[in-house]
Amino acid sequence: MKISIERGTLLKAVSQAQSVVERRNTIPILANVLIEAEGDQAMFRATDLDIEVVDKAPAQVEKAGATTVAATTLHEIVRKLPDGALVTLTADSAAGRLTVEAGRSNFSLATLPKEDFPVMASSEYQSNFTASAALLRRLFDKSKFAISTEETRYYLNGVYMHVADGSEGGKVLRCVATDGHRLARIDADLPDGAADMPGVIVPRKTVGELRKLLDDDEMDIAVSVSETKVRFATPDITLTSKVIDGTFPDYTRVIPQGNTRQLEVDAAEFAKAVDRVATVSSERSRAVKLQLDTDKLVLSVNAPDSGAAEEELAVAYGDERLEIGFNAKYLLEIASQVDRENAVFLFNSAADPTLMREGNDLSAVYVVMPMRV
C-alpha cells in the first residue's frame, strides 16, 4: 500500500478514529486504526468493539492495500507535522512496518496484520431516516448533562432516543436522560421515515463521538436504528454503535404535572448568582437554598466550616412564600441549557421535584430533585 494525502485531511480522519480507541487495551489490535486504500480514497476505521467509526478521505493512491497502525502514535505524528504538508504512507507488510514521510521527516511504525482487525458485523436496520445536524445536536446537547455515571444502573448510562407523543399533539422524536436526581426531556419534529423507529438507549461515549459530526448546520445526517445498533452517517464519516441492552424506566411518572407555583427569572443572571453563592458551600453537599417571596428570590448558602453567602434577585413570582434547597451543580447545569432569556421554574413544595422550561417552550423540559438544607 502506498498513498499520499494532505496533512489537514489526514489529521481530521485520524483524530476522529483515534478518539474512539480506548487508552488502555488488553487486545493490542484495538489500539490500531485500519487504513484501507482503494480508488481515489483512503478509509480509516477504528473500534472499541462497541463503537466503530469509519472515516473516508480523498487520497492519491499509488498502490491499493490495507494495514493497521497504532492510532494514537499516528495521530500525534500527523498533528506535529507542518500545515499543508503532503504526507506519504507506505506499508510494507513483509517487514510489518508503515513508513510515514512528509518533507524531511520520516517515521517507521510497527503494524499488525489487517486480518486481525475486528470489523463490526453489518446488521439490518428497521428504521432509516435523515435528520439535520442542528436537530440532532439540540436533542443530544441539551440532554447529555443528565446522563448517569453510575455503572450499577447501566440502563441510565445513555440518552434514550425514541418516538413519543408530543405535548402539542402529534408524534415527536424525543431524547431523555436522567440520573435519578435530574432529568432532561427534549423534543424535536419527527423526521420523515422515523415513525416506526424502535426506542434505543445511545451510550454516553457514542453521544460524545456523535457530537463531532454535528458541527456543520447545513449537514444532513443519515440515521439508522435497530434493536441492537444505531448508525449515524455523513458523506465522509460513519459512526456505528451498539445500544445499551436494557429497559429505560418510565420517565413520565417523575415529570410533575401539578406544579403551580411559577417563578420566572433571567437564566444567565440566575446561573451567575448560583455560581457566586455556591463558592462558599462545602464540596460534599454544594447545597443552595432558594427563598421565594413576592417578586423576590434570595439565594443563600450556609456552610458552618467555610462561611455563608447570600444574594437577592428580582424575579417574577406571585405565589406564597417558599423555601427549597438544591444541589448547586444541578441548578447550574440546568440553567445553562436555556437558550432564551427567561427560565420558568414550577414548584409544588419543598420536598417535591421541580420542573423547569424555557419561557413557554414545552419542547425542552427539565426536572430537578430538591435536597434538604
Backbone torsions φ then ψ of 89, nearest 5 degrees: -110, 125
Average pLDDT, the chain: 94
Residue 116 DSSP label = G
**pTM for this model (two decimals):** 0.93
Say whether 152 sits in a helix, a strand or coil.
coil
Determine the pLDDT at residue 305.
81
219: burial class by Cβ within 10 Å (0-12, 13-18, 19+)?
Answer: middle
Architecture of domain 256-368: Roll (3.10)
Q: Domain spans of the chain?
A: 2-116, 127-253, 256-368
Mean pLDDT of 92-106: 95
CATH of domain 2-116: 3.10.150.10
Is residue 23 over pLDDT 90?
no
Per residue in 256-313, pLDDT tens?
A: 999 999 999 999 999 999 999 999 987 766 899 999 999 999 999 998 888 899 999 9
The yes/no answer on whether domain 127-253 falls in CATH 3.40.640.10 is no
Lowest pLDDT segment from 282-286, 352-356, 359-363: 282-286
% of the chain with per-residue pLDDT over 70: 99
Per residue in 174-206, pLDDT tens?
A: 999 999 999 999 999 999 999 999 999 999 999
Per residue in 159-177, pLDDT tens?
A: 999 999 998 889 999 999 9
Is residue 106 over pLDDT 90?
yes
Lowest pLDDT segment from 3-17, 141-155, 269-283, 317-331: 269-283
Determine the pLDDT at residue 372.
85
Determine the pLDDT at residue 284.
67
Residue 363: pLDDT band by 50, 70, 90 thresholds?
very high
Any bridge partners for residue 161, and if so which?
175, 200
The reply to whether domains 127-253 and 256-368 share a CATH topology is: yes
> Would you tell me the crossing angle of helices 71-80 and 7-20 to the nearest 10 degrees?
150
194: burial class by Cβ within 10 Å (0-12, 13-18, 19+)?
Answer: buried
CB 221 within 8 A of CB 232: yes
Residue 360: pLDDT band by 50, 70, 90 thresholds?
confident
Residue 341: pLDDT band by 50, 70, 90 thresholds?
confident
3-state helix, strand, coil in the chain (%, to 5): 20, 45, 35
Which H/E stretch holds residue 232? Answer: strand 229-233
Can you tell me the distance from the alpha carbon of 75 to that of 17, in angstroms, rounded to the nearest whole number?
Answer: 9
Which H/E stretch holds residue 331? Answer: helix 328-335
Can you tell me the distance from the alpha carbon of 71 to that of 15, in angstroms, rounded to the nearest whole number?
Answer: 8
Residues 6 or more apart whose CB falls under 8 angstroms from that of 168 comprise 362
Q: What is the DSSP string of 272-327?
A: HHHHHHHTTS-TTT-EEEEEEETTEEEEEEEETTTEEEEEEEE-EE-S--EEEEEE
Determine the pLDDT at residue 72.
96
